[in-house]
């Protein structure tokens, strides 16, 4: 019998699937529900998937339906899913002082979407240490607001849960039925949440570059402008695009929802600005909400589709097709329209392969969203606006809903579950999974054909 050899293209999607199935088993047990009942398989699967894929859509209220044990299971799944299953397993191996083989190092490199093996374990250690430190600081800041409101024990638990969920861009909470709606006028809670979301969404490579360049700059006595100039082109691009999208999204939401009584209409100007900023941040993969998304105007929904679809940045906890992917695809279009054979960003050339890959990711993601939206609308009594919002939110691992998720039938839950899974591993990664990540070269070359486009 021929031995089956699994590559990274197989093992990375399978690792997430394994975590989901294990989580499903635990969540289905009576000990995981507050009422002590068995949880239906579909609901347990949905919850495990939304946790591992750090999405945030829920069919059962996290704060009410699940027991403390069930909530701990969900939180563990969020943490594991946020940093990546293989990354989490590699961390345990490192703590156990197990030696990494070359194949295991290559697997970890691919799981973290890195280019080389240089100081891979050192990078992993920094990622884990940084994650824990940021989450701990976030939890401590949350306690200032949550302990007075919930009491000591529950306040600490809610703070820890929310900090991990926010940093991992999961959007799942144990605060109550309305997410952060009751804290829409609390600057501390909203600013801490936004900070955690953005830090998780920037990506670990950006973290490392910022840490290295700022530390080096301080030792050498460089000015802030000199330090910034030393940032890598990737870091500069991610920071620029993140800031631009947040700013544009804030202005857009503020203008579109200014007088809407279902969202910002009843708030004073300072709260309108703060909540517009929060909505702009949370739409790009976080899933927390300070007002019901069902109340958004039609024009805001259109903007939400775009922000959710774009998502955060690569090699982090965010979802979506990623900021750099969108930019490189636009760069490729611009190069073609201008008749150029190359493109540049921050005085660095961009390969044609990178632009082709970016375009392919967007095309496959759009087709996935269209197919799943069609299936959802066909199997559930839901309008196209709410159905599209649900699927984009699932595929971009955002977790916001227009109150549709709890009403889905079994088929709808399974469709959204598939969307969340594909959104976390990436639709194009599933294509690589099916082909084993190998390029099929037949060696046969045909004469070039004439095809008319446009």
User: Quick one: which H or E segment has residue 180?
Assistant: none
Q: CA 154 from chain center: how many Å?
A: 27
Residue 3 lies in a domain: no
Distance from C-alpha of 48 to C-alpha of 27, rounded to nearest angstrom: 7
Q: Do residues 321 and 332 touch, judged by C-beta distance below 8 A?
A: no
In the chain, what percentage of residues exceed pLDDT 90? 59
| Structure-block tokens of residue 27 | 């969540």
Q: What SS3 state is found at 117?
A: coil
| Structure-block tokens of residue 345 | 């960003």
| Structure-block tokens of residue 198 | 């953005």
Non-local (6+) Cβ contacts of 263 within 8 A are 257, 275, 291, 292, 295, 296, 300
> pLDDT tens for residues 8-64?
567 778 888 899 999 999 999 999 999 999 999 999 999 999 999 999 999 999 999
Q: Do residues 297 and 259 touch, judged by C-beta distance below 8 A?
A: no
Q: What SS3 state is found at 437?
A: coil
> Is 195 exposed, middle or buried, given 0-12, 13-18 or 19+ CB atoms closer than 10 A?
middle
User: pLDDT grade, residue 265 (50/70/90)?
Assistant: very high
Q: Determine the structural domain holding residue 50 and report its residue range.
A: 8-327+347-435
Q: What is the structure's pLDDT at 129?
A: 87
Distance from C-alpha of 165 to C-alpha of 257, rounded to nearest angstrom: 27
Q: What is the structure's pLDDT at 31?
A: 97
Count: domains in the chain? 1
Q: What is the dihedral of CA 189, 194, 199, 203, to 10 degrees?
A: 140
% helix / strand / coil in the chain, to the nearest 5?
A: 65, 0, 30
Q: What is the mean pLDDT of residues 271-275?
A: 97
Distance from C-alpha of 126 to C-alpha of 114, rounded to nearest angstrom: 14
Non-local (6+) Cβ contacts of 247 within 8 A are 280
- Whether 334 shows a pLDDT value over 90: the answer reads no
User: Quick one: which H or E segment has residue 350?
Assistant: strand 348-350
Distance from C-alpha of 6 to C-alpha of 442, rounded to nearest angstrom: 22
- Whether 436 shows a pLDDT value over 60: the answer reads no
Q: What is the structure's pLDDT at 102?
A: 64
> pLDDT tens for residues 389-414?
999 999 999 999 999 999 999 999 99
- Whether 432 shows a pLDDT value over 70: the answer reads no
Residue 320 lies in a domain: yes
Residue 147 lies in a domain: yes
> pLDDT tens for residues 297-314?
999 999 999 999 999 888
Q: How far is CA 211 from CA 165, 233, 451, in A?
A: 24, 15, 50
| Structure-block tokens of residue 150 | 């919930």
Residue 82 lies in a domain: yes
User: pLDDT grade, residue 91 (50/70/90)?
Assistant: low
Q: Do residues 343 and 426 touch, judged by C-beta distance below 8 A?
A: no
User: pLDDT grade, residue 447 (50/70/90)?
Assistant: confident
Q: What is the mean pLDDT of residues 100-125?
A: 66
Work out the number of other CB atoms within 10 angstroms of the CB of residue 358: 22
- Whether 171 shows a pLDDT value over 80: the answer reads yes
Distance from C-alpha of 361 to C-alpha of 367, rounded to nearest angstrom: 10
Residue 215 lies in a domain: yes
Residue 1 lies in a domain: no
Q: Do residues 227 and 214 touch, judged by C-beta distance below 8 A?
A: yes
Q: How big is the CA angle at 296 (ends 161 and 367), to the nearest 5 degrees?
A: 80
């Amino acid at each position: 019998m021929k031995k089956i050899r699994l590559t990274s293209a197989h093992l990375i999607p399978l690792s997430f699937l394994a975590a989901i199935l294990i989580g499903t088993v635990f969540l289905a047990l009576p000990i995981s529900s507050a009422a002590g009942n068995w949880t239906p398989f579909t609901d347990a699967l949905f919850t495990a998937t939304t946790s591992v894929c750090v999405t945030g859509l829920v069919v059962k209220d996290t704060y009410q339906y699940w027991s403390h044990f069930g909530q701990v299971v969900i939180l563990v799944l969020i943490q594991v899913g946020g940093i990546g299953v293989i990354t989490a397993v590699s961390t345990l191996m490192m703590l156990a002082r197990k030696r990494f083989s070359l194949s295991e190092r290559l697997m970890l490199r691919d799981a973290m979407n890195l280019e080389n093996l240089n100081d891979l374990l050192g990078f992993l250690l920094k990622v884990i240490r940084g994650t824990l430190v940021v989450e701990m600081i976030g939890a401590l800041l949350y306690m200032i607001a949550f302990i007075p409101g919930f009491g000591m024990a529950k306040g600490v638990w809610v703070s820890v849960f929310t900090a991990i969920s926010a940093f991992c861009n999961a959007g799942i909470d144990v605060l109550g039925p309305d997410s952060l709606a009751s804290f829409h006028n609390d600057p501390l809670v909203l600013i801490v949440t936004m900070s955690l979301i953005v830090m998780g969404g920037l990506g670990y490579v950006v973290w490392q570059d910022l840490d290295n360049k700022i530390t080096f700059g301080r030792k050498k006595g460089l000015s802030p402008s000199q330090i910034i100039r030393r940032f890598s082109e990737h870091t500069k691009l991610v920071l620029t695009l993140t800031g631009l999208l947040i700013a544009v999204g804030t202005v857009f939401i503020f203008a579109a929802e200014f007088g809407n009584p279902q969202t910002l209409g009843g708030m004073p100007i300072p709260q309108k600005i703060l909540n517009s900023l929060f909505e702009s941040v949370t739409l790009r993969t976080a899933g927390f909400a300070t007002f019901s998304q069902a109340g958004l105007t039609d024009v805001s929904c259109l903007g939400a589709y775009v922000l959710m679809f774009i998502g955060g940045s690569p090699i982090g906890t965010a979802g979506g097709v990623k900021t750099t992917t969108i930019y490189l695809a636009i760069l490729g279009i611009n190069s073609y329209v201008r008749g150029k054979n190359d493109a540049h960003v921050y005085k660095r050339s961009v390969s044609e392969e990178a632009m082709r890959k970016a375009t392919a990711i967007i095309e496959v993601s759009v087709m996935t969203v269209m197919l799943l939206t069609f299936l959802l609308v066909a199997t559930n009594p839901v309008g196209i606006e709410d159905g599209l919002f649900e699927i984009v939110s699932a595929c971009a691992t955002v977790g916001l809903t227009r109150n549709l998720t709890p009403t889905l039938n079994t088929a709808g839950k399974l469709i959204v579950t598939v969307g969340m899974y594909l959104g976390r591993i990436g639709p194009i990664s599933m294509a690589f999974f099916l082909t084993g990540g190998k390029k099929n070269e037949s060696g046969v070359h045909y004469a070039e054909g004439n095809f008319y486009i446009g």
